[in-house]
Amino acid sequence: MQKEKPFYTYRDIEHWEGNWELIDGVPYLLASPSFEHQYVVGQLHLALASYFQARGCHVILAPFDVQLDPEEPERMAKTVVQPDLSVVCRVEQIGNRRMKGAPDLVVEVLSPSTALRDRNQKYYLYEKYGVHEYWIVDPSNRTIEVLSWQDGRFQQRAVFGPSDELVSFWQPDLTVSLAPVFPPEESDV
């Protein structure tokens, strides 16, 4: 007989040490990010902040809790994530300690410890809760995959490299030059 895995809620993990995500009742400790990871997050934050602030939206850096199901009582939430960057245009979603509901845009920067979770579990969560656009940044391959939500699922997809201008499906006038987003490769230094 297989032993059942323990099931957790936000109430269980809220005082644990470190940064934790909770996906369908399963807790995940977030590792300390690398220089490359933080460099990419910082450059994307710079690229997105002025565009979205001019539209009354907020660009939020991790660690900041995102409770995807806003109907679940806060302390009983089973799914609370910390995207690397979240863009939120409905400011009423933002509380002092977390936001409730799906962000409009989510950016996740892959690392060896999170890549599978970002590409699988989080992909399906963001699709399920209606994130307008999901950017998956792969620093190792120096690419950004853009997934756009329509009619209940991610339907449009494009992959951009360091010599490209990323163009958003959700906000077609949003373009990001990717040359400065990735740190110089060792051969570039």
- Report the predicted TM-score, pTM, of the whole model to 2 decimal places: 0.92
Neighbours of 57 (CB within 10 A): 20
The CATH T-level fold of domain 31-62+80-175 is tt1808, chain A (3.90.1570)
Question: Would you list the domain boundaries of the chain?
Answer: 31-62+80-175
DSSP state of 123: H
pLDDT tens digits, one per residue of 150-168: 999 999 999 999 999 999 9
The pLDDT of residue 186: 66
Residue 177 structure tokens: 């030059």
* DSSP 8-state code for residue 94: B
Give the distance, in angstroms, between the CA of residue 152 and the centroid of all CA atoms in the same chain.
Answer: 18
**Over residues 65-92, mean pLDDT:** 93
* Local structure of 49: helix, strand or coil: helix
Indicate the pLDDT class of residue 72, thresholds 50, 70 and 90: confident
Task: State the Cα–Cα distance between residues 51 and 138, nearest whole angstrom.
Answer: 23
